[in-house]
Amino acid sequence: MEKAKIKIMIADDHIIFRKGLKKILETVSRLSIIGEAENGLDLLSRASRMQPDVILMDVSMPIMDGVMATKELSKRYGNPRIIALSVFGQESHIMEMLEAGAIGYVMKSAGRKEIVEAIESVYGHRPYFCTESSRQITDLIEKYQSGYRNHLVVFTEREKDIIQLICKGCTSKEVAANLFISQRTVEGHRTRIMQKMRVKSIAGLVAYACEKGLYKGE
């Protein structure tokens, strides 16, 4: 049985780079380039309609940069599969992208093979970090990977809000009403929160939240 194609979106304000990357990835049979965006705001609008599996996101873009767009996507969807695209000299921005919710990064100078490896890895929810890195970013990433292996769990602001309300005893319907989102969205977030915590019940969720200081009661 043939594997489903991985739906890709590319967000970059440099049209020549964007079109070149698209042309390269179109030669890979398992990948489907479903859309492009020239800035973060444009991406948010298009991503909501197109529902990409993986987003290749430029760090520096006008109007809304990659960091802000990644934060917003994390808030909306919980665990978006985002790969940061960068050039040398953007070390601090790369770490901001990872902290915002990206789970991989590649240099814009990376070859086709490495970019495809990054996409495959991130599609499977596995972090991927470019092999061509400065010493500074390599050191930072080693710390990041160590935390990932040791189950360093990072929750988005939306997830933290939902955790607080669940711990207060709110139902999914009540959480939805409080946060002005749909009940289905709440349930999706709750499932991802429990997966991150590695718990199987609401009681486990509450116990975890209290233990980790995510909820301290009133």
pLDDT given for residue 56 in this prediction: 97
Task: Map out the domains of the chain with their CATH numbers.
Answer: 6-149 (3.40.50.2300), 157-211 (1.10.10.10)
Contacts of 42 (CB under 8 A, 6+ apart): 11, 63
Task: Please state, in angstroms and rounded to a whole number, the distance separating the CA atoms of residues 82 and 65.
Answer: 14
- Which tokens go with 115? 């970019």
Task: Please state, in angstroms and rounded to a whole number, the distance separating the CA atoms of residues 107 and 86.
Answer: 5
Among 94, 63, 65, 66, residue whose Cα is nearest residue 80: 66
Burial grade of 49 (CB within 10 A; 0-12, 13-18, 19 or more): exposed
pLDDT given for residue 138 in this prediction: 60
Contact 119, 6 (CB under 8 A): yes
pTM attached to this predicted model = 0.64
- The full length of the chain comes to 218
pLDDT given for residue 214 in this prediction: 86
pLDDT in tens, the chain (218 residues): 567 899 999 999 999 999 999 999 999 999 999 999 999 999 999 998 999 999 999 999 999 999 999 989 988 876 789 999 988 656 667 778 887 888 888 888 889 999 999 999 889 888 888 876 545 566 666 665 555 545 557 788 889 999 999 998 888 999 999 999 999 999 989 988 988 887 888 888 888 888 788 887 65
> Which amino acid is present at 139?
D
**What's the sign of the alpha-carbon dihedral 79, 12, 97, 180?**
negative
pLDDT tens figures, 169-213: 888 999 999 999 999 999 989 988 988 887 888 888 888 888 788
pLDDT given for residue 147 in this prediction: 54
Residue ranges in the chain assigned as alpha helix (H): 15-25, 40-50, 66-77, 91-100, 112-123, 135-149, 157-167, 172-179, 183-197, 202-211
What is the DSSP-derived secondary structure letter of residue 112?
A: H
pLDDT given for residue 99 in this prediction: 77
